[in-house]
Amino acid sequence: MKVTVITSSPRKRGTTSVLVEEFIRGAKEAGHDIFRFDAAFEKLAPCMACNFCRTNNAQCAQKDSMEKLNPELLGADCIVFITPLYYFGMSAQLKLTMDRFYANSPALKGNGKKTMLLAAAHDDEDWAIQPLADHYKTIVRYMNWDDRGILLATGCGSRSDIEKTDFPARAFKMGKDLT
């Protein structure tokens, strides 16, 4: 299976990096082909709502790192979103990337892609991370994709915090069990 993993934390060794590493390790062990896109370290501009893509065969007027991601999105069997919780939602880096799906929305929508969300939050209260999960579920519903799992690592404010939990093992299992 071709899996596109989109990470979005600007911290290279933060809490979500543990989830990324373990998910990918499990997925590779299961024989999946992984493409990793680190949105926080790519050159990306926000969608300008110019609709250039609608009259130019899904090509965006902006020439940036989406040119690298778009073919991987279109060819992926599964798209995995990994983000820290920022003010009750996904990081700006992930939101920016997802907004740019617009150019390929007709090709991405309703094609049976599988998706997953892995997120980490300093807060340990479920209500704090629930809006992120709800937003993800709304996107999955709109795109008519197949949600294959959500991992919400609460109470993980630092890398050492998350390493003391079962969240890394759960991320590994999500990757390993992906079908």
Q: For the chain, what percentages of helix, strand and coil (3-state, to nearest 5) are there?
A: 45, 20, 35
According to the model, what pLDDT value does residue 126 have? 87
The pTM (predicted TM-score) of the whole model is: 0.96
According to the model, what pLDDT value does residue 88 have? 95
CATH number, domain with residue 14: 3.40.50.360
Q: Edge-to-edge strand order for the sheet containing 114-120? A: 33-38, 2-7, 78-84, 114-120, 146-153
Domain that holds residue 35: 2-176
> Which stretches of the chain drop beneath a pLDDT of 70?
none
What total of structural domains would you count in the chain? Answer: 1
According to the model, what pLDDT value does residue 111 have? 83
Nearest of 22, 31, 45, 40 to residue 116 by alpha carbon: 22
According to the model, what pLDDT value does residue 19 have? 97
According to the model, what pLDDT value does residue 137 have? 98
According to the model, what pLDDT value does residue 110 have? 87
